[in-house]
Amino acid sequence: MAKKSSRKTNKKQTLKSGRSTAKRSAAKKSSAKDLSVAAGPPSALLFAPPVGNPQPFSTRPSASGNERGSSTTTGLNGTTQEFDDGSVVTEGTENLTAARTDGLHSSLTASCRRVKQGDTTIVHQVNYSYKQRALSDSTLMTNVNDLSLPIPAGFQPTSVRNVKATQFGKNDRQDEGTGSPDMGLIQTNSEVFGGSVKVSVTAEIFGPNWRSNSKRLGAMIDVLFLDKKCMIRVPLVDVGPGEHAPSHAEVDLTWASDQFLGTKGGATVRYRILVPS
């Protein structure tokens, strides 16, 4: 009888141990899943083996200025790593400086991490703001025929408009290279992904007191360039183009946004603003 009782006890302990091991295993899987989802495509970051060694890359420096100030960037310097599932992780930093007639004389070391998997790239950008504004992650897509990214929870989209878009920021010699203090003073003379709309449109969306409406800093802009079948979802980093600009543009794109979309400084695009609820 004692042996039978012992066998029952051992069986219970084995079952209990198995359940405990399963729980720990599930917890690990859940933790890994949560981490990978937060950081980008999971296989590229946690599970897929790298293919070869990281490859160095760099982008060109830029200096610009006007009567309101000047700015510089060294361009991005970093590495690109491929993984055996086809994903690619690109990481880099750039040194930025800015001097403005309103008293700003400062520098930043900005960084970005771009995780590409299939037709989608997620971009995490850090330290592009002289007012410590944190930028929401950008999403870049190829092979699309519409503004196909779903609206995220907690946002309301504006109506879609077909308008002219131009480019500003890096390599724009008529721009001093930093955005409006009302939008977090982002260094746009850089490789930052972002966009902006005219002040009149900003006021239409966020109200006449838009400068004090906190939703402006959490808003995103979706832009589709159908000619290239490319779409971006990026943060609003400035205000502009000018109300009476000769281009008659309604949207401005940073250099990185313009280059990805293929708009080459000026093109007709479809766009909408995603406003936090």
Determine what percent of the chain is predicted with pLDDT higher than 90. 81
For residue 129, what are the CA distances in angstroms to 117, 126, 184?
Answer: 28, 8, 6
pTM, entire model? 0.84
3-class DSSP assignment, residue 1: coil
pLDDT band at 173 (very low <50, low <70, confident <90, very high): confident
Question: pLDDT digit string (tens) for 203-252?
Answer: 999 999 999 999 999 999 999 999 999 999 999 999 999 999 899 999 99
Question: pLDDT digit string (tens) for 113-166?
Answer: 999 999 999 999 999 999 999 999 999 999 999 998 999 999 999 999 999 999
Instruction: Answer left, alpha or beta for residue 259, where phi above 0 means left and psi between -120 and 50 means alpha.
Output: alpha
Q: What is the predicted pLDDT for the residue at 46?
A: 57
Contact between 129 and 238 (Cβ < 8 Å): no
Residue 188 DSSP one-character state: -
- Cα(71)–Cα(64) distance, integer angstroms: 6
